[in-house]
Structure 1
């Protein structure tokens, strides 16, 4: 990959990797966590202060506001992912990274100054309010099922509904709220907290790397000035598509870095630990698992690079990002599982970060669409293409 990358990407990536390995990884044992195990904002902003001082904060967005290419971003975000805390520390985390991308592409100059600037500076967190409770048949993997409504009242829009699994809602300062109007889906930028947006519940989940968890919230007569609508009424799904593929891909980037780290730890363990008269690595059953990790890591890397290169042409990359999300999330799950297996009892304890990486990657198979939804969507494309070929 290195021969394809600009010198700037190689330099930024090297600086981010150095910072994550030397500064962030020691924070993995820091006890400043909530009862769900997620890092407290105190910890997040302390790390960000150090990232700012080291010149690696929000490394994918340059000083003039321009972004690295997707291929360059892939390299840098993988380096940030070498620790589950890395994306938080250098401000490449979800959902903020995707929200910054969306506001940067759709927001007005006023919106960028008010809402985007503090996010890029790493002084605020954000949340994306789209998913809705399953029991109410609301929007999940199918956004067209959205139940949350918005109605124009004078120079304000009034929003009502419930949202579920809203990552980082608790403690966020900026919100992007999706709702349905007569014109179609709409997006709004809002300041948080707001008394009209009430956190109902933050469930305990298998993952624990994201501050604020994944909240269920009630939106009760939220009044938003008309000039805080992102874009125009009825274009919300179009804007979601702008965010969708890069956000899917950046998940792949970050968790690839984590699994690279897990593989490093498992490989070190297998070379040091002896059983039945020789190091574990010399037992074929163990050595082959680590060899398979190398293969999966490389294949996942190539899929990420391929999809990134498609996005860099200006394409939405919807199909390519679906394929990549499936291939990479499944490969990373295999890698994380093998790392736990290689390390035996140690692998299921918090003695190393491998156990957490396993949990985080298991959740990744659901983030931004479960594997099965993407396969179903791809199968529909195959059907459409077949029909088109017959006509």
Structure 2
């Protein structure tokens, strides 16, 4: 129910409805996070200080870590409830980090699959923001869509611990992370399905190093890392040791859906900038808003937003219910990535040269839209896998075609 009470806004204040909470988050991102984007984008000490200040402000506003477990210091919102807020939070790439929800994937994964020691040692720090984590799956020379080709190795020692060696790249936030979850092969050879495992690796361990930063279309935050016989405790293995692909798939479904929600927020931001420009600027032939071609940009962008949002929330509903959401996540991921690029491109076109310069967020949003078509699997992967899954439902003898 839209206005049901879902979360407190402070330790001694009453619960508020979804609409009010969403507006509080939107206002925080608009007035606090977005003005800090140039500093946050640059990285370094000033960015760290700015992020710490934003996090303190989010805590004071009762907006900290809303989808993380209440018993660990989070807001305790269910994924379904948080999804209604994630679009507003994700209007800035820095929103999730500033508001404490960026750890949701790692907290969920470690809660479900971590050993008692891992949960006790790391979860509270991840929720509080005292610890940062990252996820390392993709390797140089190996398609990120082919985990069975993983070359990173984990060697079992006689004492039950592991020695992990290999290289990973496009690992988000690795330079500042305290923990990295690493996909490695414990046995067999590529492309065997068996013999893959996920390990939680403290980045302060001997043998771990950041090789280099990998700017993405000029943006910072991605890194190549190396592990050279890094000692990993036995109880830092996730799951039972043979279920790495299932754990990774669970994480990817949630992660892709979260990205889609945040891309909706960023596209809405670009749409608002476009409409404001059209309404307030003009030339010798009158206001831009009166030009049919500008109206076409507005219409097409609005149509893309309105048709993509239900797809994303259909995926949310299935994930929240614990149902198979592979088809819905694939549809949402491709639609949301295309939508973000399309809406931002229209906004740039309406701005003209101003849309290419540093005075608006449009270049950054457009860069995010282009990268979105590759992140978490390229469009082509999702198109072929969804189509193949649908077509299997229509094969001879199968009388139960899937939704679609």
TM-score (normalizing by structure 1):
0.91
CA contact (8 A) 1:175 1:192 kept: yes
CA distance in 1, matches of 2:368, 2:265: 12
Written as runs of structure 1 = structure 2, the 5 A alignment for 1:225-304 is 225-304=233-312
Q: Compared with structure 1, are the counterparts of its residues 41 and 238 closer, same or farther at alpha carbon in structure 2 (3 Å cutoff)?
A: same
CA distance in 2, matches of 1:139, 1:161: 15
State the match for 2:190 in structure 1: none
Shift in Å at residue 388 of structure 1? 5.3
CA distance in 2, matches of 1:109, 1:31: 35
CA distance in 2, matches of 1:177, 1:389: 41
Q: How many residues align?
A: 379
State the match for 1:53 in structure 2: 60
- From 306, 311, 321, the equivalent of 1:313 is 321
- From 168, 184, 206, the equivalent of 2:195 is 184
Written as runs of structure 1 = structure 2, the 5 A alignment for 1:327-366 is 327-366=335-374
State the match for 1:169 in structure 2: 174
Gaps of 5+ in 2: 7-17, 188-193, 400-404
State the match for 1:152 in structure 2: 156
Shift in Å at residue 112 of structure 1? 2.1
State the match for 1:110 in structure 2: 117
Q: Compared with structure 1, are the counterparts of its residues 330 and 367 closer, same or farther at alpha carbon in structure 2 (3 Å cutoff)?
A: same
Shift in Å at residue 62 of structure 1? 4.6
**Residues 29-70 of structure 1, C-alpha deviation per residue, up to 9 Å, x if partnerless?**
4377238xx983333222112211211111122523585333
- From 72, 75, 91, the equivalent of 2:81 is 72
CA contact (8 A) 1:164 1:215 kept: yes
The higher-RCO structure (CA 8 Å, 6+ apart) is 1
Q: Compared with structure 1, are the counterparts of its residues 371 and 120 closer, same or farther at alpha carbon in structure 2 (3 Å cutoff)?
A: same
CA distance in 1, matches of 2:19, 2:116: 31
Shift in Å at residue 11 of structure 1? 4.2
CA distance in 2, matches of 1:371, 1:85: 24
- From 215, 227, 243, the equivalent of 1:219 is 227
Written as runs of structure 1 = structure 2, the 5 A alignment for 1:82-121 is 82-93=91-102, 96-121=103-128
Gaps of 5+ in 1: none
SS at match of 1:285: helix
CA distance in 1, matches of 2:284, 2:93: 34
CA distance in 1, matches of 2:323, 2:304: 26
CA distance in 2, matches of 1:309, 1:220: 42
CA distance in 2, matches of 1:31, 1:101: 26
Q: Compared with structure 1, are the counterparts of its residues 27 and 370 closer, same or farther at alpha carbon in structure 2 (3 Å cutoff)?
A: same
- From 142, 145, 155, the equivalent of 1:141 is 145
CA distance in 2, matches of 1:32, 1:21: 16
- From 377, 381, 395, the equivalent of 1:387 is 395
Shift in Å at residue 244 of structure 1? 1.3
CA contact (8 A) 1:350 1:356 kept: no
CA distance in 1, matches of 2:107, 2:281: 45
- From 26, 48, 51, the equivalent of 1:41 is 48
Shift in Å at residue 12 of structure 1? 3.3
